[in-house]
Chain A
Amino acid sequence: MKLKPSFIAYDTQDQSMLVPTGSAGFAGLVQGNRTLGAILSLLKTETTEAEVVAAMCARFDAPQAQIAQDVGRVLDALRGIGALDE
C-alpha cells in the first residue's frame, strides 16, 4: 500500500497534515502530530502495515502493541477517505 498521488503529506513546524488535491474526492484535511507525519512519510513508497509498525517501533520508544494499534487506527482513517492505494 501507499499514498495515492492525489494526497500530499505536508509538515509545518509543529504538525503534520495530509492535503488532498482538488480532484481527490475528499475536501477536508487530515491533521496530526509528528507520529502521523512519520506514518505518512513511510506511505510515500510502497509498504505494508507490518513494515510501518516495525519502522515506528524502531523510531519511537513505546510498546509494540500500542504502536500497532495507533498505526492501525491511522491506516483505517486513511482508507476511510480514500487516500491509500492497496
Chain B
Amino acid sequence: MKDVYRFADAVVAVESLYPAVHDYCRAYRFDGAPELTVRITPADLTAERQKSAAEDRAEGRAVRDFADDYLEILAVYRKLAEWAPLRETVLLHGSAVAVDGAAYLFTAKSGVGKSTHAALWQAAFGSRAVIINDDKPLLRITQDGVTVFGTPWDGKHRRSANCAAPLRALCILERAAQTQVIPISASQAMPLLLQQIYRPADPAALAATLRLLDRLTQTVPLYRMGCNMAPSAAVIAYEAMKG
C-alpha cells in the first residue's frame, strides 16, 4: 500500500504493509513528487517491538504487546524523524499551541502535564487558539526562523491540526505551587531539550540535529514555567511570552 503525504513542507511517500498508517496520516495526504520514500519492512516492525519492550522494561512496566499495524505507525514516524534533520527539521516531544497565528511550544519531562496545559490555552483563548500538535510536532529551523508544523503523531488525545505557525517562544514546563514564567538561557534549556528532541541513530543526522538545536536556542526566546494547572496559568504564560 502506498500513498503520498506532506509533513513539514516535505513530500513523503509511504509504502506500508498495513492500511492503518494511511488512515492515521490521511489529513496530510498530498499530490506531489516525493523527496523521500518511507518503505516499511517486517524487520522495521520487529525493531519497533523490541524498542517498545526495552522501554517498558526500563520503566519497570509489564511488556506490552502491540499490533503490527500500530507498530507500523511508529516505524513511519521514526523513519521520517531520522531523515528530517538533513532537511533542517527536527521532531521535538512537546505540545504546540498557536494563538493569533504565533506558536508557543511547551516541553517537559513525561507526566508533568503538557497536554493539560495546552488544553488550558484552548479553554482560555477559545477560537483564537489552535493546538498544532499535542505530542510530536516538527520544527523547521532555517536561517529565516523557526516554524512549527502539525503531524499525525499527536499523542493519546489525538489533538493536532495540519497547519503551521512561526514559533514565538519555547517553554520548559514544570509543576509548581504557583504559576511563574522566567526567561532562561540556552545552556539552562539544553539538557532537557536534548532529552526531548528526537535523537537519530545516524551520527551525521544527530550532528545535524545538534546544529539545528543551537540555531533554535539562539533565535527563539526560551522560558521556564512553574505551573499549577489553574485556568489562569494559560493567560499568565501567554502574557509573559507573547513579546
A positions within 8 Å CB-CB of B: 5-6, 8, 10, 12-15, 17, 19-23, 27, 29, 31
Known contacts A19-B206, A19-B210, A29-B194; is-contact A14 B187 (Cβ 8 Å): yes
Residue B60, interface by CB 8 Å: no
Residue B240, interface by CB 8 Å: no
Task: With both chains docked as a complex, state the minimum distance between the C-beta of A24 and any C-beta of chain B, in angstroms.
Answer: 8
Residue B63, interface by CB 8 Å: no
Tell me the bound Cα distance from A43 to B39 in angstroms: 37
B positions within 8 Å CB-CB of A: 58, 82, 185-187, 190-191, 194-195, 198-203, 206-207, 210
Question: Is B199 in contact with A22, judged by CB distance below 8 angstroms?
Answer: yes
Hey, which chain B residues are within 8 Å of A12, CB to CB?
186-187, 190
Dominant SS at the B interface? helix
Hey, which chain A residues are within 8 Å of B206, CB to CB?
8, 19, 21-22
Question: Is B202 in contact with A17, judged by CB distance below 8 angstroms?
Answer: no
- 24 examples of A-B residue contacts, CB within 8 angstroms: A6-B201, A8-B206, A8-B207, A10-B210, A12-B186, A12-B187, A13-B187, A14-B187, A15-B190, A19-B194, A19-B199, A19-B210, A20-B199, A21-B199, A21-B201, A21-B203, A22-B82, A22-B198, A22-B200, A23-B201, A27-B58, A29-B194, A29-B195, A31-B191
Question: Is B194 in contact with A5, judged by CB distance below 8 angstroms?
Answer: no
Question: Is B191 in contact with A21, judged by CB distance below 8 angstroms?
Answer: no
Closest A residue to B189 by CB, please name it: A12
Tell me the bound Cα distance from A14 to B203 in angstroms: 23
Tell me the bound Cα distance from A8 to B201 in angstroms: 11
Tell me the bound Cα distance from A10 to B198 in angstroms: 16
Hey, which chain B residues are within 8 Å of A29, CB to CB?
191, 194-195
Task: With both chains docked as a complex, state the minimum distance between the C-beta of A35 and any C-beta of chain B, in angstroms.
Answer: 16
Tell me the bound Cα distance from A10 to B197 in angstroms: 15
